[in-house]
Amino acid sequence: MKQCVRLMMLAILGVPSVASAVDLGVDSTTLIRLEERSVPGFSKEQVYPATQFLGIDLDKLGDGNLSFHLYGWGRLDLADKSTDEGTTDADLSYAYLAYRFPQADAQVKLGRFFVYEGVAAEQVDGVSARTDLTHGFAVSLFGGAPVKLDLTGDNKGDYVVGGRLAYRLPGLLELGASALREGGITTGESTDLKDYRQLVGGDIWLAPFKIMEIRGHSNYNTATSGFAEHSYLLQVYPVRPLTIVAEYNDYRLKDYFATTNLRSLFNPDRDETLRSYGGSITYVVAKPLEVTADYKRINYHRADRGNTNRFGGEVRLTLADRKVRTGLSYHRADSAQSANSYHEVRGYVMYRTTKYSASIDAIGHFYDEKVLGARDTDYEVLGSLGYHILENLAISGDLGYGRNPWYDKELRGVLRLTYNFNYSSKGAAK
């Protein structure tokens, strides 16, 4: 990564001499979180971490097709430690140069970036490229070193490579086939784990009629010889005010979490499956009034978890020329294990104009039996206020209070200062 950053900085420093008309965008958000934790039997904690997020976008560099993008954050704890790590932390989410070619929608990236292509959902220090081919085909490739988390026991590999081949009929169909391999994974003392991760998969988007859309994917883990995931979604709009959604998801934990470094949490060593299916129906009764009914069946093939049926509905209102939005919902989770059975009630109101914003959101859970032997109810109330000082400068804050099985009392607050700056070579700064 250091070598990539050096190359990018040299490129950026050399760009102004050849830049013809640079566009600049800066996004800055400062957060100060205020939290008081009270756990029975332990002393209270005051947690005040200050976090700065910063994003920079430089477009139209060089011959006009080159751009640079950066996003990262840094944190400083102003009171008790907010995590089990140190009192400071920082991370570079992405920083890359991108060059878009005038033909075939082709693009090359160099640096740290995210890849979402078929089976790949990766953060990589390396290079990627994509281009359209003839007759509706397109191809994308990437390779480099997987970004390692700054955590003890991180078992990321030494390298990761992958790609996706797609075929598209505009407005009707897109089919994709993709593959990924990560090598050099640390297995520790275990002799049962493989030192690589290898996935292949297929994805589809299909809209055979204007009222119907299907999308989904299946991933196969060739390292463990099993399907890791099937996930599919169907959306139907038979008439304008009515929307019908159906979904199906199937995960085999042994293949899905095969290389996780949190084995005690995700349990890949157990041959378990998690399958869910269900749907929802949304109907716009009148322009300001919308109702939704939904159902979901969760099959967890594990004796101490069992199956769960979750069902309920929500009523939403949009008023005052869309400045006010409010909703009320009720859901019931009915599980084979009473500890996982509960009623859920939620209500909210939001108000937003170009200058002000305000909201209040309340949610409560009422369990069939006490959770962790502590209590059978929990709740949280969250309120927020926001004000635009200038068009591109805003201040806002959230304040929440609640009780749950883990905390006897939890008081949380966030102060947020947001600043956006955009300069276009065709116009003045904003």
Express each pLDDT in 232-262 by its tens digit: 999 999 988 999 999 999 999 888 887 776 6
Instruction: Quickly state the pLDDT bin for 192 (edges 50, 70, 90).
Output: low
Distance CA 97, CA 94 (A): 10
Nearest CA to 144 out of 106, 99, 94 is that of 94
pLDDT tens per residue, range 174-189: 999 999 999 988 766 6
Which pLDDT belongs to residue 190? 60
Does residue 327 contact residue 314 with C-beta atoms inside 8 Å? yes
Q: What is the mean pLDDT of residues 50-77?
A: 95
Distance CA 99, CA 44 (A): 52
pTM, whole model, 2 decimals?
0.84
Which pLDDT belongs to residue 83? 79
pLDDT at 428 exceeding the cut of 70: no
Residue 123: what residue type? Q
* Residues whose CB is less than 8 angstroms from the CB of residue 150 and which lie 6 or more positions away in sequence, other chains included: 85, 89, 91
Which pLDDT belongs to residue 47? 86
Give the chain as a 3 state SS string. Answer: CHHHHHHHHHHHHHCCCCCCCCEEEEEEEEEEEEEEEECCCCCCEEECEEEEEEEEEEEEECCCCEEEEEEEEEEEECCCCCCCCCCEEEEEEEEEEEEECCCCCCEEEEEEEEEEECCEEEEEEEEEEEEECCCCEEEEEEEEEECCCCCCCCCCCCEEEEEEEEEEECCCEEEEEEEEEEECCCCCCCCCCCCEEEEEEEEEEEEEECCEEEEEEEEEECCCCEEEEEEEEEEECCCCCEEEEEEEEEEEHHHHCCCCCCHHHHCCCCCCEEEEEEEEEEEEEECCEEEEEEEEEEEECCCCCCEEEEEEEEEEEEECCCCEEEEEEEEEEEECCHHHCEEEEEEEEEEECCCEEEEEEEEEEEEEEEECCCEEEEEEEEEEEEEEEECCEEEEEEEEEEECCCCCEEEEEEEEEEEEEEECCCCCCC
Question: Which residues partner with 52 through β-bridges?
Answer: 30, 74
The upper half-sphere exposure of residue 363, i.e. CA atoms within 13 Å in the direction of its Cβ, equals 9
Which pLDDT belongs to residue 273? 86
Which pair of tokens denotes residue 235?
């959306």
Distance CA 178, CA 198 (A): 11
Nearest CA to 122 out of 98, 149, 90 is that of 149
Nearest CA to 1 out of 108, 148, 103, 129 is that of 148
Q: Is 265 or 186 the better-scoring residue by pLDDT?
A: 186
Distance CA 92, CA 226 (A): 34
Q: What is the mean pLDDT of residues 92-105?
A: 95
Of 124-138, 259-273, 290-304, which gets the smallest average pLDDT?
A: 259-273
pLDDT at 86 exceeding the cut of 60: yes
pLDDT tens per residue, range 350-369: 999 999 999 999 999 999 98
Instruction: Quickly state the pLDDT bin for 5 (edges 50, 70, 90).
Output: very low
Of 39-48, 63-72, 129-138, 147-156, which gets the smallest average pLDDT?
A: 147-156
pLDDT at 345 exceeding the cut of 90: yes
Which pLDDT belongs to residue 42? 72
Burial 276-288 (b: 16+ CB within 10 A, else e): bebbbbbeeeeee
Q: Is 202 or 148 the better-scoring residue by pLDDT?
A: 202
Which pair of tokens denotes residue 269?
């060593």
pLDDT at 387 exceeding the cut of 90: yes
Which pLDDT belongs to residue 18? 47
Instruction: Quickly state the pLDDT bin for 4 (edges 50, 70, 90).
Output: very low
pLDDT at 10 exceeding the cut of 70: no
Distance in angstroms between the alpha carbons of the first and the last residue of the chain: 33
Instruction: Quickly state the pLDDT bin for 136 (edges 50, 70, 90).
Output: very high
Instruction: Quickly state the pLDDT bin for 84 (edges 50, 70, 90).
Output: confident
Q: Is 149 or 412 the better-scoring residue by pLDDT?
A: 412
Distance CA 203, CA 220 (A): 12
